[in-house]
């Protein structure tokens, strides 16, 4: 168990809808990262937050947004969903400090857009 909690585990929704994915980082971790993994694809970095502030942005679509709350949990909002948004969405967290802190991943949310 990595200590990172993601909910829900599975989500099935229709095109055009909006969903929210939730992530609770490991205790003590200040950084939260969101990744997208499409079928048989690698990991695409979406966005990173550090202690409530956006730290880095990757290939995140304008239809997607995220935030990190004062209690350090994070939410990823996906709107105007398209079939191509079907993927496994991972949240990860890491300890504060130097770059040698590994990312610890949650079990992911599997999103299916129909």
Partner 1 sequence: AQKVTQAQTEISVVEKEDVTLDCVYETRDTTYYLFWYKQPPSGELVFLIRRNSFDEQNEISGRYSWNFQKSTSSFNFTITASQVVDSAVYFCALRGDSNYQLIWGAGTKLIIKP
Which residues would be at the binding site for partner 1 (CB under 8 A)? Answer: 2, 33, 42-43, 45, 56, 88, 90, 92, 99-100, 102-108, 110
Taking the complex as a whole, the smallest distance from the CB of residue 99 to partner 1 amounts, in Å, to 5
Q: How far is the CB of 59 from partner 1 (least distance, A)?
A: 12
Using the minimum distance from each CB to partner 1, give the nearer residue, 12 or 14.
Answer: 12
Cα of 71 vs its chain's centroid, Å: 16
Residue among 85 and 93 whose Cβ is closer to partner 1:
93
Task: Indicate the residue among 70 and 99 with the shorter CB distance to partner 1.
Answer: 99
Shortest distance (Å) from residue 47 CB to partner 1: 12
Q: Which is nearer to partner 1, 19 or 106 (CB)?
A: 106
Distances in Å between the Cα of 100 and the Cα atoms of 68, 74, 97 are 22, 22, 8
């Amino acid at each position: 168990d990595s200590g990172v909690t993601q909910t829900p585990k599975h989500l099935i929704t229709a095109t055009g809808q909006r969903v929210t994915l939730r992530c609770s980082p490991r205790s003590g971790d200040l950084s939260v990262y969101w990744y997208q993994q499409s079928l048989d694809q690698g990991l695409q970095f979406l966005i990173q937050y550090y202690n409530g502030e956006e730290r880095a942005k990757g290939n995140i679509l304008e239809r997607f947004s995220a935030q990190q709350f004062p209690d350090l949990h994070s939410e990823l909002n996906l709107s105007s969903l398209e079939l191509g948004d079907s993927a496994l969405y991972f949240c990860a967290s890491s300890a504060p400090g130097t770059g040698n802190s590994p990312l610890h991943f949650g079990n992911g949310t599997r999103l299916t857009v129909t």
